[in-house]
Amino acid sequence: MKHLKLFKSSLIALALTSSSVSFAQSIAITNATVHTVTEQGILNNATVVIEDGKVTAINPESVTADTVIDAEGKILTPGFIGSMNQLGLVEVGAVSRSRDASDKKADITFDASLAFNPRSSVIPYSRKGGITSNVVVPRGGESMFKGQTFVADLSGEFDSVRVSNNAVIIDLGAKSKGSRALDLQKLQVKFEDATKKLAKAKKKAKDAKDKKEAKEPSREDKVINALLAGDKALVAYADRATDLLALLKLKEIFSLDLVFVGAADSVLIADKIAQAKVPVVMAALDNLPGSFDSLHASLENAAKLTAAGVNVALTVDGDTHNLYQLRFHAGNAVANGLSRDAALAAVTANVADAFNVDSGRIAVGKTADLVLWSADPFELSSHVAKIWIDGKEVSTQSRQDKLRDRYMQQSNMPKSYLK
């Protein structure tokens, strides 16, 4: 625990030093339609000032900034937050030496952030979708614990890992070999044993005159203890309602910070999930009964869960390279009953809240991850006009644009000479 906390704060210190060097400039975005995703709602003709990587003012009395950008009424939103993918851990899915998201031996302590590659070509490409940061999820190995998530921004800079080891991934439900019951049982036993061990250690520490005798918990135990202390979220992939209910019970017993992923059949128990305040991270377009665990998958689930009071976060399932499509998923959720505001929250604030990330809203003091859109952010016809990550404007140009430009040019020399 102590070790982990130290690690976190040192990261923040690192981030602060680098940001104070690179962004001394202040930027004011004026005349924007600002979707704050806070109680302030939508602000028309508004001004947002950013400096040192943070939002420093919204609608100040007077605007003083090094750079002033007239948004001409366009929509400004928080940067969208991706999740549940392997961004920066995979360049080409089928090229084994470009993959670092899994390892047979990976366990609950697996920290894939060490392999994060901010130079991956998927990162600038994903910025086209207005994605400014992302919760990267390792795929682990044989253990039901797949490792720990980390949060990275999409600046492409070498310091873009913002938080590592911030949540624990567990994969539950239908199994090709064996029974789902054993995993649930094992999970419960793990928490029970750890609780007992903690109580024992506490008692021992009180009783023992020589404190040196108290044994330090194993690295694995430390992670379990962090889950029990609520310092880390337990992010559970599960679809069938019975699995979700079993997890809700564990949450109740052990006061876990629980997040559901997938949760195809969650609509059957939406009220219970809302009551337990467990966010659901789901793919809005998953509407086929892919397995007997997901018979209730539907395009309307995002809207139904939201209406029941569940905090829904949207993710793009499947290949990491599709992350940029997140905004279209949100649009489809709107077409199927979700309100526009709820859809925007589902790709910003709700993701941030589920993973305890300090972005996803436009408010003073928040990380300045912002996107200015040509028009409706969810529409196929719109595009990112400008995008800022950590207060710094970045480009949406990617190697795909270079390839297109090369092949759209006429030349009497081979295309390879066009650069």
Partner 1 sequence: MQKFLPSLVMAALSVSLTGCLQSEQQDAKVLINKNPYPSTYQALPKQNILIKNATVLTGTGERIDNADVLMVDGKISQIGSALTAADAVEIDAQGKWITPGIIDVHSHLGVYPSPSVESHSDGNEMSSPNTSEVWAEHSVWPQDPGFEAARAGGITTLQILPGSANLFGGRGVTLRNVPSQTMQGMKFPAAPYGLKMACGENPKRVYGGRKVLPSTRMGNMAGYRMAWAEATEYKRAWEKYDADYAAGKNPEAPVRDIELDTLKGVLDGEILIHNHCYKAEEMAMMIDLGKEFNYHSGTFHHGIEAYKIADTLAENGNCAAMWPDWWGFKMEAYDMVHENVAIVDAVKNSCAIVHSDSANTIQRLNQEAGKVMYRANENGFEIKPELAITWITQNAAKSLGLAEKTGSLQKGKNADVVIWNQNPFSVYAQAEQVFVDGAKVYDRHDEKYQAKSDFLLGQR
Task: Note the residues at the interface with partner 1 (CB under 8 A).
Answer: 91-95, 121-122, 285-292, 294-296, 319-322, 324-325, 328, 331-332, 334-335, 378-381, 383, 400-401, 403-404, 407-408, 415
Residue whose CB is less far from partner 1, 234 or 326 = 326
As measured in angstroms, the least distance from the Cβ of 128 to partner 1 is 9
Residue whose CB is less far from partner 1, 257 or 293 = 293
As measured in angstroms, the least distance from the Cβ of 170 to partner 1 is 22
As measured in angstroms, the least distance from the Cβ of 410 to partner 1 is 11
Residue whose CB is less far from partner 1, 201 or 295 = 295
Residue whose CB is less far from partner 1, 120 or 359 = 120
As measured in angstroms, the least distance from the Cβ of 103 to partner 1 is 20
Residue whose CB is less far from partner 1, 5 or 119 = 119
As measured in angstroms, the least distance from the Cβ of 381 to partner 1 is 5
SS3 per residue for the chain = CHHHHHHHHHHHHHHHHHHHHHCCCEEEEEEEEEECCCCCCEEEEEEEEEECCEEEEECCCCCCCCEEEECCCCEEEECEEEEEECCCCECCCCCHHHECCECCCCCCCCEHHHHCCCCCCHHHHHHCCCEEEEEECCCECCCCEEEEEEEEECCCCCCCEEEEEEEEEEECCCCCCCCHHHHHHHHHHHHHHHHHHHHHHHHHHHHCCCHHHCCCCCHHHHHHHHHHCCCCEEEEEECCHHHHHHHHHHHHHHCCEEEEEECCCHHHHHHHHHHCCCCEEECCCCCCCCCCCCCCCCCCHHHHHHHCCCCEEECCCCCHHHHHHHHHHHHHHHHCCCCHHHHHHHCCHHHHHHCCCCCCCCCCCCECCEEEECCCCCCCCCCEEEEEECCEEECCCCHHHHHHHHHHCCCCCCHHHCC
As measured in angstroms, the least distance from the Cβ of 216 to partner 1 is 43
Residue of 127, 87, 111 whose CA lies nearest to 232: 111
Residue whose CB is less far from partner 1, 249 or 399 = 399
Residue whose CB is less far from partner 1, 60 or 118 = 118
As measured in angstroms, the least distance from the Cβ of 304 to partner 1 is 14
As measured in angstroms, the least distance from the Cβ of 295 to partner 1 is 5
Residue whose CB is less far from partner 1, 62 or 176 = 176
